[in-house]
Amino acid sequence: MPTQTTQRAQWGSKIGFILAAAGSAIGLGNIWRFPYVTQENGGGIFVLFYLLAVVAIGLPVMLAEITLGRHTGKNPVGAFGAIDPKWKFVGALGVLTGTAILSYYGVVAGWTLGYVLKSAQGELSPEAFGAFVADPVAQVSYMVLFLAVTALVVALGVQKGIERMSRFLMPLLLLLLLGLIVRSLTLPTAAEGLRFYLWPNFEAVSAKTFLFAVGQAFFSLSLGMGAMMTYGGYLSKKENLVSSAVAVVGLDTLIAILAGFLIFPVIGHSLDKGGATLVFVTMIQQFNTMPGGQIVALFFFVLLALAALTSTVSLLEVATAYLTDEWKLSRKFSVAILFLFCSLLAVPSALSLGAVDWLSTLGGKGFLGWFDFLFGNISLTLGALLTCLFLAYRWGVKNAAVEIAEGCSWFEPLLPLWRVLLGVVVPLAILVLLGYMLITGAGLG
């Protein structure tokens, strides 16, 4: 069995870490879920609450995960275990969560590859989506292909694989997004869509508005599954953790906000359903009616594929770091094992969208729906809650502040605020989210 003999890798530069970490956070949810949740919760007023939640909820947890990762220089299991072995289960929960999410996320990511091909061939049809996801050969094939590309990047290593990919793909993703926005702003529906998106309607405020704003801010940053902890473990001691966390959160939020400038001018605000329906049905309806729509659609689905890839790479890296650190396996051998395991684990999700009846109707959600609810919502949220409690009450914010001070000399005045946010505000917000999901049986992500 191949073993790991090299020293633990590090990022080649701070910008490499920021682009990779932001890429982890930026995913399909930023491009299609954020506009849908915005439409469902009042438009501009939801955007305002979302931005406040990013600062008050997302940023403190982001800083906590990155700090714990760099302090220990380990994967999530090793990071918690290095401070208190009794808490290793929280890291194990993160590895399990990331691996499970990768399996079904790979299925959805595979759709983007399929639709890149359909766009290039001029075969886009909003009515064809149901048949596409019910085709077992197509679903399994695109899923395996996407996971194979993901595995190739991770197998190349932190600098040669993940960082190099991020340095190329993140600017390309932003360039594609800006180009598509310019095109969407020329459409007749642009004024109507932007008015709804940007103008706060205070009459639309409800408890649900607050709840979903916090949920969107939380889930969009890839917190609670060990990704930021793992990436933080590759940072050198000279880097400023506070500015790094702010940059990652800021870039992720920017992409989400820009996604609204892409989606709403195209659809106005007459959106009936979100998720896959928004991207693979509603948007295609609009592409088919606009001049040059085939080219716009091609770039749009390339954009989605890039966003998905930067996320799947981080998900795979969490489990890879665990195997290389704790089991001393080589990186390439670890990636090969995980690729095979995740591909097999993803098959039931790939077949649960119409290909196999009992998988599609399982428990009223289908297999993929249940996996997303259990791991992409409940497990993810629970992991973030336990991380906050660990840092606030076990490791202690003072000890964390010592690590932060390695590259940031001005954080000490903010320490009391961080202590209150991590120890009180964020845990309470997460408990409310967990309560809502458990009571309603509905996810937020």
How far is residue 340 from each of residues 108, 148, 161, 298, 380, measured CA to CA in Å? 18, 9, 19, 30, 23
The per-residue pLDDT for 209 is 86
d(CA 189, CA 271) in angstroms, rounded, equals 13
Buried b (16+ CB within 10 A) or exposed e, 258-282: bbbbbbbbbbbbebeebeebbbbbb
Position 208 confidence tier, pLDDT thresholds 50, 70, 90:
confident
Question: Do 20 and 228 contact (CB within 8 A), yes or no?
Answer: no
Q: What is the pLDDT of residues 155-186, one digit of tens each?
A: 999 999 999 999 999 999 999 999 999 999 99
Q: Residue 277: pLDDT above 80?
A: no
Give the angle 414-418-422 at the CA atoms, nearest 5°: 180
Instruction: Give the residue, 38 or 276, on which the prediction is more confident.
Output: 38
d(CA 182, CA 199) in angstroms, rounded, equals 20
Contacts 24+ apart (CB under 8 A), 77-84: 77/322, 77/325, 77/326, 78/322, 78/325, 78/326, 79/229, 79/233, 80/390, 83/390, 83/394, 83/395, 84/390, 84/394, 84/395
Question: Do 35 and 265 contact (CB within 8 A), yes or no?
Answer: no
Q: CB neighbours (10 Å) of residue 326?
A: 17
Residue 429 Cα to chain centre, angstroms = 19
Question: Do 318 and 226 contact (CB within 8 A), yes or no?
Answer: yes
Beta carbons within 8 Å of 25's beta carbon, 6+ residues apart:
220, 221, 222, 248, 249, 251, 252, 311
Instruction: Give the residue, 203 or 231, on which the prediction is more confident.
Output: 231
Q: Residue 318: pLDDT above 90?
A: yes
d(CA 304, CA 22) in angstroms, rounded, equals 15
Question: Do 412 and 405 contact (CB within 8 A), yes or no?
Answer: yes
Position 30 confidence tier, pLDDT thresholds 50, 70, 90:
confident
Closest CA to 162 of 21, 302, 340, 8: 21
200 DSSP β-pair partners: 43
The per-residue pLDDT for 95 is 97
On the CB side of 137, how many CA atoms lie within 13 Å of its CA? 0
Single pTM value for the model: 0.94
Does residue 356 sit in helix, strand or coil? coil
Q: 7-21, 26-40, 267-281, 415-429 — which one is most confidently predicted on average?
A: 415-429
d(CA 305, CA 365) in angstroms, rounded, equals 25
Closest CA to 217 of 227, 206, 209: 209
- Report the pLDDT averaged over residues 79-103: 97
43 DSSP β-pair partners: 200
Does residue 7 sit in helix, strand or coil? coil
The per-residue pLDDT for 411 is 92
Q: CB neighbours (10 Å) of residue 283?
A: 23
Number of residues in the chain: 445
Question: Do 220 and 25 contact (CB within 8 A), yes or no?
Answer: yes
Position 2 confidence tier, pLDDT thresholds 50, 70, 90:
confident
d(CA 161, CA 345) in angstroms, rounded, equals 24
DSSP label at residue 280: I
Main-chain dihedrals φ then ψ at residue 189, nearest 5 degrees: -85, 0
Tokens for 182? 């310019």
Q: Residue 272: pLDDT above 60?
A: no
Position 273 confidence tier, pLDDT thresholds 50, 70, 90:
low
Q: Residue 445: pLDDT above 60?
A: no
Position 147 confidence tier, pLDDT thresholds 50, 70, 90:
very high
